[in-house]
Chain A
Amino acid sequence: MNTTSPLPVASPPGAAPRGAAPARPRARRREGRGALVAGRVIVLAGAVVMLLPFWFMFVFATHSNSEILSMPPPLWFGSSLGDNLRELLARLPTFWQNLGWSFYVALATTLANLVFCSLAGHAFALLEFAGKERFYAAVMMTMLLPAFLFMVPTALTMSWLGWTNEERALIVPAACSALGIFLMRQYIEAAIPRDLVEAARLDGCSEFAIWWRVVLPLLGPALGTLALITFIGSWNNFISPLVVMRDMDRYTLPLALRSLQGSGQTPWGALCAGAAIAVLPLLVMFALASRRLIDGLTAGAVKH
């Protein structure tokens, strides 16, 4: 249990005294403007490289198959977007339903994870109980097995429960992920000051109230991270829907888009158009989560 080298924490103990205004402004060592500009250029160039395949995906969505599968591939938008969208919807009449199901499953899974994982993380990080480390080890073990080994047992379980073709078969098993618990435990151990929790306990708060009023508000960045991982993971998952869903109008989006690929001529333009639409909610999710994650929680600095 560490208390000395915290994870993101507002003010590490033993740091420079806060509140003490600098005596007088000393001459700062000015960083060379050149170095700063050069650094920015490199980072921006890197960003362009990162964006490139993503860019191509959007460009391909506006071209026909022949144009896409030619060398060199098209670099700028074409004129086939309408055709591609029409073909996408013709081949996948359930496209919008699939999009909706993906949303529903991802949102439900994310909310469930936020609640359950923070509860479990709280327990592992702040409470003592019999068999704690053994439980934790069992939790971690589930993270380390590849997903496809779960295919057959999942199909069996779902058929026993009668949940085949139901969305809950996707949400419930993923409602409390081991990864989330791992994240939460790490963060809580590092960032929540123990004395705060002790103080609340002494005040007679129930554990649940401590979780709700003390721990959760300070968990901003971790919740943001978990929300992001869970949403993206759920959105892109196709293995579970593959074995659980029977009807195409209940598919989630990745499975539906994949179903365009077969032994015939894959409609790459339509596929990229679908993939481009499928990625937009993830972009929005990132924009929302990044405010918590990156803009940080300086407001969460705990001032005693």
Chain B
Amino acid sequence: MHAAAKTPHRRRPLIPARWAPYVFISPFFLLFAAFGLFPLLFSVALAFHQWDPVGGVWSMRWVGLDNFAYAIARDDWLRKAMFNTVWIALVSGLPQHLVALPLAWFLHRAFGRWRNAVVGAYFLPFITSTVAISLVFSSLFSKDFGLVNAAFSTLRQVPVLGWLMPGQAIDWSQPGYTKWMISAVVFWRYVGWNTVLYLSAIQTISPELLEAAEIDGASPRQRFLHIVLPLLRPMVFLAVTLSLIGNLQLFEEPFILTGGTGGIDQAGKTAAMHMYAVAFMDGDFGTASAVAWLLFLLIVGATAINKRLLGARA
């Protein structure tokens, strides 16, 4: 399809060119002013107040930096939660992309007609409801009857792989294993999403380019490493940024897998879960807002680093 129309009539544009940018972004900013700015300012203000919502809006009390001081210096559960969050973000995040990239490439070149069905299978976890997930995974990860442990025990029979398998049934609720369980579920949930993103990016690489490389004798691996990856860099940046933001705000999966408690030793409690607990259990919305802004700084820092590493070079 021709991208450019034939020469249009010369008539006065509907929106003068000078104003065009502002008109284009005005829907967002109107909506933001109405529905985004107020919550933003509210939560900034809240971070400096003490507020138990059950007392009504007027029961807020100014406490200055006390909430931040408490969160940084005296809240041991927050420190643990931050550690857990970063741990899970890395352990589930890295495989999400390291697996999704070659997977997308392989799906692109080796599956032909079945490609969409297979991608669909990988994408399903992304749209499965959390209710079903909680029910199913709690039974899959059961110590004595779960399929995961059953799979491990059958794999133990396999010669080489068997040496890597744990010696006995794993109690996944033990603090040493909780984070692994959560990371596995997060990986399961999002690897398909990343695969779809990368696959769509690969689609738009010129097929002639890849064919020419193939004809020149490049192996699939070489084509992947030297053509596909560099061209995919902007999409990788995008996908990793989204992953970072999502993983550092992780709430649903650890919440449902630990029954809302964060598990033994708070091993599965993420920062967002802790925030939620502080707000609704401790009845302390002020500290929860302060923690949210601290987490915000963390995410900004992480995305800045990401931009350095993967971002577009000017």
Residues of A within 8 A of B (CB): 1-2, 4-12, 15-16, 18, 22, 25-26, 28-29, 31, 36, 39-40, 43-44, 46-54, 56-57, 60, 68, 71-73, 115-117, 119-120, 122-124, 127-129, 132, 135, 138-139, 141-146, 148-150, 152-154, 156-157, 172-173, 175-176, 179, 181-183, 186, 189-191, 196, 199-200, 203-209, 211, 213-214, 217-218, 221, 224-225, 228, 232, 236, 254, 257-258, 261, 268, 271-272, 275-276, 278-279, 282-283, 286-287, 290-291, 293-302
- The residues of A that contact B231 with a CB separation of less than 8 Å are 5-6, 9, 12
- Per-residue interface assignment for chain B, residues 26 to 69, with 1 indicating a CB less than 8 Å from any chain A CB and 0 otherwise: 01110110111011101100000000010001000000000000
Dominant secondary structure at the A interface: helix
- The residues of A that contact B212 with a CB separation of less than 8 Å are 16, 22
> Which of these, A10, A144, A302, contacts B296 with CB under 8 Å?
A144
* CB closest residue in chain A, given B220: A31
- The residues of B that contact A275 with a CB separation of less than 8 Å are 129, 131-132
- The residues of B that contact A47 with a CB separation of less than 8 Å are 118, 121-122
Asked whether any CB of chain A lies closer than 8 Å to the CB of B174, the reply is no
Q: Is the CB–CB distance between A221 and B204 below 8 Å?
A: yes
- The residues of A that contact B24 with a CB separation of less than 8 Å are 119-120, 122-123, 127, 207, 211
Minimum distance in angstroms from A125 CB to a CB of chain B: 10
Q: Is the CB–CB distance between B206 and A146 below 8 Å?
A: no
Distance between Cα atoms of A142 and B28 in the complex (Å): 12
- The residues of B that contact A26 with a CB separation of less than 8 Å are 215-217
Q: Is the CB–CB distance between B128 and A157 below 8 Å?
A: no
Distance between Cα atoms of A54 and B128 in the complex (Å): 7
* CB closest residue in chain B, given A16: B212
Q: Is the CB–CB distance between A145 and B3 below 8 Å?
A: no
> Which of these, A139, A294, A298, A299, contacts B28 with CB under 8 Å?
A139
- Per-residue interface assignment for chain B, residues 119 to 142, with 1 indicating a CB less than 8 Å from any chain A CB and 0 otherwise: 111111111111111011101101
Counting residue pairs across A and B whose Cβ atoms lie within 8 Å, the total is 341
- The residues of A that contact B214 with a CB separation of less than 8 Å are 28
Distance between Cα atoms of A221 and B13 in the complex (Å): 29
Asked whether any CB of chain A lies closer than 8 Å to the CB of B7, the reply is yes
Distance between Cα atoms of A40 and B125 in the complex (Å): 20
Chain B interface bracket (under 10, 10 to 19, 20 to 34, 35 or more):
35 or more
Minimum distance in angstroms from B97 CB to a CB of chain A: 15
Asked whether any CB of chain A lies closer than 8 Å to the CB of B21, the reply is yes
Distance between Cα atoms of A107 and B32 in the complex (Å): 21
Distance between Cα atoms of A123 and B22 in the complex (Å): 8
Distance between Cα atoms of A209 and B17 in the complex (Å): 11
> Which of these, B14, B35, B132, B275, contacts A154 with CB under 8 Å?
B35
- The residues of A that contact B204 with a CB separation of less than 8 Å are 8-10, 191, 221, 296-298, 300
Asked whether any CB of chain A lies closer than 8 Å to the CB of B76, the reply is no
* CB closest residue in chain B, given A215: B3
Query: Chain A interface: which of B163-171, B260-268, B285-293?
Result: B285-293
Q: Is the CB–CB distance between B28 and A199 below 8 Å?
A: no
Q: Is the CB–CB distance between A5 and B203 below 8 Å?
A: no
Distance between Cα atoms of A119 and B279 in the complex (Å): 37
- The residues of B that contact A258 with a CB separation of less than 8 Å are 131
10 closest Cβ pairs, A-B complex: A296-B203, A206-B13, A8-B204, A71-B145, A207-B20, A153-B39, A173-B35, A123-B24, A57-B132, A2-B312
- The residues of A that contact B131 with a CB separation of less than 8 Å are 257-258, 261, 271-272, 275
* Central interface residue in B40, B137, B299, by most chain A CB within 10 Å: B40
User: A8-B200, A52-B136, A209-B13 known; 12 other A-B pairs, CB under 8 Å?
Assistant: A11-B209, A28-B214, A43-B111, A73-B136, A149-B288, A153-B43, A175-B31, A196-B4, A213-B4, A221-B203, A275-B129, A290-B196
Q: Is the CB–CB distance between A157 and B38 below 8 Å?
A: yes
Distance between Cα atoms of A15 and B130 in the complex (Å): 45
- The residues of B that contact A186 with a CB separation of less than 8 Å are 234, 237-238
* Central interface residue in A53, A127, A157, A286, by most chain B CB within 10 Å: A53
Minimum distance in angstroms from B32 CB to a CB of chain A: 7
Distance between Cα atoms of A236 and B24 in the complex (Å): 29
- The residues of B that contact A268 with a CB separation of less than 8 Å are 135
- The residues of B that contact A4 with a CB separation of less than 8 Å are 313
* CB closest residue in chain A, given B296: A144
* Central interface residue in B135, B235, B251, B272, by most chain A CB within 10 Å: B135
Asked whether any CB of chain A lies closer than 8 Å to the CB of B159, the reply is no
